[in-house]
Amino acid sequence: MYARYVLRSMRAETRAATLAAAAEEFWPKLREAPGFRKFLLVQTDDGQTLGIAVWESEEQARAFEPIAAAWQHRLDGFGHTLQARGEGTVTEI
């Protein structure tokens, strides 16, 4: 398995609108993508949000990159600041 993650500092005033847009615009595309396994969204009380997408393979994760990049641009428009991003092989324990 393979995963990609994005950590953002979220603006409180646009958080609800962001989650509504994700439910309508992004998550359905993610669920339908070949090789998609799961998505985890970790939200902290201080406004940090960590999104983790898990894929069957690196190739399938890379094939989804244009859609993921468009969504990241949308998050920029909501004013949420990118803190970190990365990717790598997943080991389940």
Question: Residue 66 maps to which CATH number?
Answer: 3.30.70.100
Question: Is residue 18 a part of any domain in this protein?
Answer: yes
Question: Is residue 93 a part of any domain in this protein?
Answer: no
Q: Which two structure tokens, joined as six digits, stand for 28?
A: 């359905």
Q: What is the pTM of this model?
A: 0.90
What is the span of the domain harbouring residue 41? 2-87
CA–CA dist 14, 19 (Å, integer): 9
Question: Is residue 76 a part of any domain in this protein?
Answer: yes
Number of domains in the chain: 1
Tens-binned pLDDT, residue by residue, of the chain (93 aa): 999 999 999 998 998 999 999 999 999 999 999 999 999 999 998 889 999 999 999 999 999 999 999 999 999 999 999 999 999 999 999
CA–CA dist 91, 93 (Å, integer): 6
